Structure formats: C-alpha cells, structure tokens
Amino acid sequence: MLHGVPMRRRVTLPAFASTLALLASLACGGSYKAAPAPGPDSGPKVVTGTCRDYDYATRTLDLVAGVSFALRMIAFKLHENTEISVRGRRAELSELQANTVLRIEYRVTPQGNLADKITVVLDARGMRGP
C-alpha cells in the first residue's frame, strides 16, 4: 500500500484508461473524411422520390427524396427532350400528378438539376406495368 491505495488498484486504473481510449479510437474509425461534393461535370445521376409539386409554365418539378437520414426537396428543370413515361408509355408533363413516386435520371448543371428521363414508379393505381 502506498498513500492508502493498494498497488494493484494504482496499476489497473491507468491500464483501464489506456485500453478504453484505444477501443474508443478504433470504434470511431479514426478521422472523418467527408465525400467530395459532386461538381457540374459529374455524370448522370438517379433519384427516386415523391413528386411534391410541378409547374407546367416553367417546366420545373419538386421531388421529396430520402437523402442519407433525412428528407430533402430537390428541384428539377425539364427541357424539351425530357422523356416522361407512365406505365410503359410515353407521356407529357401534364399527365404527372402530385404524390406520385418518380424515378428521375438527371444531370447537375450550373443552372441546376436537369431531368433527362422521368419514370412513374408508383401512382394511384399501384405499381407501374412491365
């Protein structure tokens, strides 16, 4: 005994603290590195979400999609060559409805997200056909 503390306890506490620190650093996986943000030159991307709103006049569409552990609203611009398909047939923007699940293939441009292809995945009638 030294200063009222048994020798065994004095050695165990520093060893326990070192072991705990080592395990904590291993469990955290080391330093965190964020993924680089996609730039305008990124290739085509695909997202699936629910159509919240659309505007025929400006040819824009707002989609609510799950991104990581949160919901995000993503705005898309449609160009004159954007392909829209409903139940396997070509459709027009006017045929889309709010609360419809869509799959959108798009490109990130300096002007925003530009939709190249929109496919209805789920609508009021259920899953899309073949």
Residue 64 and residue 91 in contact, taking contact as beta carbons nearer than 8 Å = no
pLDDT at 107 over 70: yes
Spatial distance between the Cα atoms of 104 and 122, rounded to a whole number of angstroms: 13
pLDDT of residue 46: 93
- In this structure, which long-range contacts are made by residues 89-93, counting pairs with CB atoms below 8 Å and at least 24 apart in sequence? 91/120, 93/54, 93/56, 93/59, 93/61
- What's the pTM? 0.62
pLDDT tens, residue by residue, 64-95: 998 888 999 999 999 989 999 988 889 888 88
Give me the pLDDT at residue 130, please. Answer: 46
pLDDT in tens, 19-60: 666 566 555 555 545 445 555 555 679 999 999 998 888 999
Domains and CATH numbers, the chain: 45-127 (2.40.50.320)
For residue 72, what pLDDT is reported?
A: 92
Name which residue leads in pLDDT, 129 or 26: 26
Amino acid identity of residue 84, one-letter, is: I
pLDDT in the model for residue 123: 72
